[in-house]
Amino acid sequence: MGDIPFNSPKAIYTANQMRTKMGQKLCKMLGEKTIVGPLDPYIVRAFEAGCFDEATKDELLRVSVYCDNVLFSSNFTDIPDFKVLLGWSEMIDKL
């Protein structure tokens, strides 16, 4: 996926899908009705509540930053390989 521009429909759709999934899972974990704004504080709260380990927290924070950069920035150019994105998606599904 490194050759796909960050602002392409595929990159934007992938980031949106991962962010939406993470938001839904975090809502269930934390008992929230909705999540507004960046996911980072919610990821940290879920970690502190014992929902997942520190390695997962760190990786979810990376995913969150990636999603926010793709969705809200016009100069993000470091797109991970497709295998990395697929791994992130699988990790989110396992939460």
The secondary structure of the chain as a DSSP string is -TTS-TTSHHHHHHHHHHHHHHHHHHHHHHT-S---S-SHHHHHHHHHTTSS-HHHHHHHHHHHHHHHHHHH-S----PPPHHHHHHHHHHHHH-
Residue 71 lies in a domain: yes
Residue 27 lies in a domain: yes
pTM of the model: 0.80
Task: Provide the token pair at 17.
Answer: 């899908």
Host domain of residue 36: 9-94
> Model confidence over 6-42: pLDDT tens digits?
567 777 888 899 999 999 999 999 999 999 889 999 9
Residue 3 lies in a domain: no
Residue 1 lies in a domain: no
Residue 85 lies in a domain: yes
Q: How many domains does the chain have?
A: 1
> Model confidence over 79-95: pLDDT tens digits?
777 788 888 888 898 88
